Structure 1
């Protein structure tokens, strides 16, 4: 069999090209730090790497969503802190206004300070975030949730709030509606009493206070009504009479696990309504207090009305403050949950990165050894090609 010179040249050149291609492949791996540069390098590993990369991208999206949720909840927590401080200040002023030695001018001055708190609360209720969205408007965040209408503040936001997908199985509310914050009451709220009295009545009340929260009927609404100046009856929400007795000023009246104390001279049809857990806007509460403080109390009957109003307002502010603190605690719990999800998500991302590294990352020690070997092979191929180039019979002539 005769082997032509062309055949030897092509064989040597092909061998040299293969060695050079292998050498360049290893060099590319070293340059990129990846064992699988092209899918053809390891189809199975490349396929699994795509799946892991997609999982990493989804995990990163959840991490970004948690950042957004944390920013929103942190801002809300800061505003709720200011709201609770404002309500506490208002409660202090109400207690101060109950001092019987104050004049109408003194109470008017307290009313001016209370109105400042009232306006401050309105501003906090209409707080916006960095995007101009209202924190307490619910899903309707493009307009002020609290607006003044006819001298009163009404809520025009939505009851529902937006939720953020912060993990594969967790949708977290990233806010609270204004109704829940400024008009809601928590489950353990105190009883609030409100008096409806005749113009010349001096009836005042203290309480109601809890005697036995486990008693039958505790938590329901009741109405105490005077049938005449000396006799009263207590009925439940259905109008069923529970108690009829003779009025004695200063003597506690106990029924269904609670107690209320009356003072003054009542008139026929004077009534005191006692409710527990009834929603009451903190703005409506402050409006009642302002109306009482800005009106003269120059008669015994007006002083009695002022005392009753301040007593009701004080209890309502307590309930409102407890409700704001409850919402704030909920916000804190969600922030803590985000921290836990961040930890879990971080560990998950580390596992993904470890798996991806095992699939496609380069073993530098093995690659450098292979690089050196390929380099020697290429040099040998080149040297063989040079030597074979001179192997011709014509050289012997």
Structure 2
């Protein structure tokens, strides 16, 4: 088989150009430190690198979301700590107001202190984050959460939306709670039923807290009314009406004895001390009743009661004590609700911190894999560079020697 001289030249040149291209590629890998400059360098590795880069970006976003969520939850947690402290201070003032040594002037002074604490509580409910967004307003982050009502209480201006954030591939976590849930709700389980006396009572009867005698039968969803009558001879009796029954049921009249247990049915008792007058009435309502859940309304009612002089009237003092007892129970239910919400926030904080640890470990693993895949192995690359350089040198010398071979060199002139 005959090989033309031009073909021999072309083959040698092509070989040297290929070697030169490989040397240039190795030089680029060594200088840049990147083993994959284009998908053509390593198609499979390039595809894996794209996938790892996307995973890394996703994990980076999760990390950012986790940091944001933890900041939001931390702000809510610290705010709820202040809310709890403020409500406990108000609770202490109510207990102080029930002291038998208090007069109208003392109670008015307590009302002033309570007003200050109430305003502080409203300020906490309207807390904003670093961007000026209200943290308890649901999705309405630019709307002031609560505004005062002219008749007492506060109006919630937010909505029921609960902001959530994607903190992992399979987990969204709530990063806030609404003001309605925190300040205008009570727990469905564990809240005390609220006893109260009618403001029109003329006797000195004071109702106690509800006592549960049979937890298997007790229910805090029923509403009861206790009505007192006088037979005209000074004999006082009472009836208990279950207004939750359909139709309402009323017990037969029973003689009243101060301090004796009055059965409400369903495993619950209450007692009334003092001397109720005929026509006096008391009620026992569920903790979840709308009138029992607004903490601002509760505090305003207590302040109003403290500011109302008794002028030494035993009946007025009994009405005040009933109002204070009612406020104490309502505030206790609201406080328990805030503590429960704060416990939930703390649990979410712990979950985000745990996810941060997992995400950090995953991100490190992905980064290591991506670096191993795309980074140049300097030692191997230099070794390959030397091999290619030697091969190129040999090719060049071989080509130089070959191109001088000719029959004409052996012909005598």
TM-score, structure 1 length as denominator? 0.91
Matches within 5 A, 1:37-186: 37-152=37-152, 153-186=154-187
Q: Does 21-30 or 234-243 show the bigger shift?
A: 234-243
* Structure 1 counterpart of 2:338: 324
Deviation at 1:168, TM superposition (A): 2.1
Give secondary structure in 2 for the equivalent of 1:181.
helix
- Residue ranges of structure 2 left out of the alignment (5+ in a row): none
The equivalent of 2:205 in structure 1 is: 203
What are the Cα deviations for residues 242-263 of structure 1, in whole angstroms up to 9, with x where unaligned?
4642111122324432322212
- Of 376, 381, 384, which aligns to 2:390? 376
Matched, 1:263 2:273: yes
CA deviation string 1:213-271 (max 9, x = no partner): 22255652222121336111112123212464211112232443232221222123322
Name the SS for the 1:269 alignment partner: coil
Q: What SS does the corresponding residue of 2:173 show, helix, strand or coil?
A: strand
Q: How does 1:274-353 map to 2 (within 5 A)?
A: 274-278=284-288, 279=290, 280-298=293-311, 299-353=313-367
Judge conservation of contact 1:16–1:381 (CA < 8 Å) in 2.
yes
Query: 1:235, 1:243 within 8 Å by CA — same for their partners in 2?
Result: no
**How far has the Cα of 1:371 moved from its partner?**
2.2
Aligned residues of 1:145 and 1:155 also touching (Cα < 8 A): yes
Deviation of the 1:328 alpha carbon: 0.3
Per-residue CA shift, 1:81-137, capped at 9, x if unaligned?
000000000001110111121121111111111111000001011111111111111
In 1, the alpha carbon distance for the partners of 2:219 and 2:4 equals 113
Measured after TM superposition, the shift of residue 178 of structure 1 is 0.4
Q: Distance in 1 between matches of 2:88 and 2:401?
A: 98
Secondary structure at the aligned position of 1:41 is classed as: coil
Counterpart secondary structure, 2:210: strand
Paired positions, count: 396
**Which piece of structure 1 moves more, 298-307 or 255-264?**
255-264
Q: Distance in 1 between matches of 2:175 and 2:104?
A: 46
- Residue 227 of structure 1: SS of its match in structure 2? strand
1:36-91 Cα offsets, whole Å, 9 max, x none, are 22101121221232123222222222221122111111111110000000000000
Q: Please provide the CA RMSD for this pair.
A: 2.6
| Residue 215 (str. 1) matches residue 221 (str. 2) | no
Q: Which residue of 2 aligns with 1:235?
A: 241
Q: Distance in 2 between matches of 1:82 and 1:168?
A: 34
